[in-house]
């Protein structure tokens, strides 16, 4: 079979994948319009598994067409060159490269994983870039006026349902923008709006993303759109702060559902709005997590080539299930499942794999770090500290092998590195401690609302992000909240003690919320802050009610931005101030 036909076969597999992926995503607007939140979650989950299914399907087609037991180097070199020619003007060329890599790497041994046969480095850096204008539309208030232009922007985004009071929403937007961006020229004839054509859907919200270009510079913004409890849509908030925008696109949230014909153009537009976000982070955020993996791995290889620091054991308490290590100047941790677990962990490797996948497929509500799985990661042995190498050989020997000057990790997870909460609290100010403990309790509540029981709630299993948010990152004991049995601590009488009847039967799924106060919060100062802010978390009734809410589909809104940014909150504050003034 000719190389060109094989290249076309692989590209056809990618084309089918992308077409179906976009078709799945295109169901999000109607699900949002009808408030079908289960459908939104189903779309998210389906998209995550869809990629691997299409890769496997393409591999089977290849095996039916040509022998793949051995790699014929000249043939596959030509296949790659032919494939490359097909990508010259392809609107999803970078994703097609990654798809090719996935197919090839599942067919052949890793000794062939080099630029001769796969796209370790992209070949697109010198190709004609897709114009970012392909993904946005510009609006000019000088033509029709500011208010009509804003209305036109919202009208062009078909939410498939009407707004409750769009005139009020537009007034709120204009007042908020003047307050939040006072240095931007606000006269209509002095500005232009660049708006992404499609809204970003996630959970119970939709987001309009764009920027104002004026003679004073560029001001990015995000508009949050929600359903009103009494019917109709309304604009809930305007976000212009760079840090708030980065949190909305953060690594602890579910991937957005957004339709795009040119992902690279969409990514570059977002990168202009949030320059500190890497391509890997932005591809993840818009749902292309496989491309995010590719971009991250290239970033990792580039870092290794440009640096000299060595892998060391990651700061924090040593894990009982995972061996965790890091490069001191690279903001990620590498996690490998240990060969054997502590006796307090009555489960095995398969359970850990399933629980990490559970989190991957679930709504992470901004409180659970995203993870990426990698296989056969090759690390130069000289880049691993002697202490760490000794630890790795003692704890993960079945998951690694040493080959000459390299260490090959057969399976690992990579996460964004955070400061472990227990370590953070040791050096935090009084104000920082107070904020962290309140946010720790809030993190627990938000996970419960999403039907997640974190299992091990010790402070060492939570991290502090650079935006000072508390995020959970240890998933080996994660389970669905609805699978747990919440009980009050048994009361033991003297008669029970003397009769030997004090021992209560405790099942594996039994949880005693009161123990959160006893065993997790051992520091009296932390106990006091937590008890004052979240006393309900120490009661069985709260956890049982959280279970009932999940079962009865009482979906609580979790806002990825501060309450004080909400227009409803601002209006309530004004009413309160007027009453106090009277």
Residue ranges of the annotated binding site for ATP are 314-320, 335
For residue 136, list its beta bridge partners.
196
Residue set of the binding site: 314-320, 335
Please report which helix (H) or strand (E) contains residue 234, including its range. Answer: strand 233-239
Rounded to whole angstroms, the Cα distance separating 579 from 568 reads 17
CB 56 within 8 A of CB 16: no
Cα-based torsion angle of the residue sequence 545, 546, 551, 556 in order, rounded to the nearest 10 degrees: 120
Catalytic site includes residue 370: yes
Give the CA radius of gyration of the chain. 26
Which tokens go with 215? 């003679």
Rounded to an integer, what distance in angstroms lies between the CA atom of residue 564 and that of residue 281? Answer: 27
DSSP 47-115: HHHHHHHHHHHHHHHHHHHS--SS--HHHHHHHHHHHHHHTTT-TTHHHHHHHHHHHHHHHS-GGG-ST
Q: Cβ-count burial of 249 within 10 angstroms (0-12 exposed, 13-18 middle, 19+ buried)?
A: buried
Under 8 Å between Cβ of 441 and 537: yes
The three-class DSSP label of residue 212 is: strand
Q: How many residues does the chain have?
A: 582
Please state whether 455 falls in left (phi above 0), alpha (psi between -120 and 50) or beta. Answer: left
Catalytic, out of 169, 236, 363, 370: 370
Q: What is the DSSP letter of 556?
A: -
Q: Which residues are catalytic?
A: 370
């Amino acid at each position: 079979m000719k190389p060109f036909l094989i290249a076309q076969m692989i590209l056809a597999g990618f084309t089918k994948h992308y077409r179906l992926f976009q078709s799945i995503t295109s169901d999000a607007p109607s699900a949002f319009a009808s408030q079908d939140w289960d459908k939104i979650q189903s779309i998210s989950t389906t998209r995550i598994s869809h990629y691997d299914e299409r890769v496997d399907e393409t591999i089977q087609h290849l095996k039916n067409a040509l022998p793949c037991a051995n790699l014929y180097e000249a043939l596959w070199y030509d296949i790659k060159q032919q494939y490359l020619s097909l990508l010259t003007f392809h609107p999803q060329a970078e994703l097609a490269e990654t798809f090719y890599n996935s197919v090839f790497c599942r067919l052949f041994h890793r000794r062939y994983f080099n630029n001769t046969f796969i796209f370790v480095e992209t070949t697109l850096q010198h190709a004609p870039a897709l114009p970012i204008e392909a993904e946005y539309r510009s609006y000019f208030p000088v033509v029709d006026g500011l208010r009509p232009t804003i209305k036109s922007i919202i009208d062009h985004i078909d939410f498939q349902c009407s707004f409750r009071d769009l005139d009020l929403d537009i007034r709120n937007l204009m007042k908020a923008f003047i307050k939040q961006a006072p240095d931007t020229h606000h006269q209509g004839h002095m500005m232009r709006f660049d708006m992404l054509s499609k809204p970003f859907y996630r959970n119970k919200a939709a987001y309009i993303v764009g920027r104002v270009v004026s003679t004073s510079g560029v001001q990015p913004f995000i508009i949050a759109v929600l359903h009103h409890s009494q019917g109709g849509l309304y604009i809930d908030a305007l976000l212009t702060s760079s840090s708030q925008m980065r949190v909305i696109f953060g690594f602890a949230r579910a991937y957005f559902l957004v339709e795009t014909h040119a992902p690279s153009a969409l990514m570059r537009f977002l990168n202009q709005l949030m320059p500190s976000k890497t391509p890997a982070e932005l591809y993840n955020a818009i749902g292309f997590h496989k491309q995010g993996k590719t971009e991250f791995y290239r970033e990792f290889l580039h870092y290794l080539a440009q640096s000299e620091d060595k892998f060391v054991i990651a700061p924090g308490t040593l894990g009982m299930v995972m061996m965790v290590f890091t490069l001191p100047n690279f903001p990620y941790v590498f996690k490998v499942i240990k060969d054997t677990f502590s006796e307090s962990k009555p489960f095995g490797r398969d359970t850990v794999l399933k629980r990490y996948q559970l989190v991957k497929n679930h709504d992470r509500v901004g409180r659970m770090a995203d993870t990426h799985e990698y296989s056969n990661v090759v690390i130069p042995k000289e880049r691993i500290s002697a202490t760490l190498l000794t630890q790795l050989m003692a704890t993960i020997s079945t998951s690694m092998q040493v080959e000459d000057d390299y260490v090959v990790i057969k399976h690992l997870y990579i996460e964004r590195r955070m400061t472990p909460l227990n370590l953070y609290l040791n050096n935090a100010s009084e104000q920082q401690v107070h904020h962290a403990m309140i946010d720790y309790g809030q993190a627990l509540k938000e996970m419960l609302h999403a039907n997640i029981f974190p299992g091990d709630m010790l402070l060492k299993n939570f991290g502090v992000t650079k935006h000072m948010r508390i995020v959970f990152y240890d998933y080996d004991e994660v389970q669905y909240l609805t699978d747990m049995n919440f009980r009050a601590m048994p009361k033991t009488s003297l008669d029970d003690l003397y009769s030997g009847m004090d021992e209560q039967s405790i099942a594996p799924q039994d949880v005693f919320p009161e123990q959160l106060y006893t065993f997790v919060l051992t520091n009296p100062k932390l106990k006091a802050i937590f008890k004052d802010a979240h006393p309900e978390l120490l009661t069985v009734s709260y956890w049982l009610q959280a279970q009932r809410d999940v079962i009865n589909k009482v979906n609580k809104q979790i806002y990825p931005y501060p309450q004080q940014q909400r227009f409803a909150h601002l209006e309530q504050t004004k009413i309160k101030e007027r009453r106090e003034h009277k």
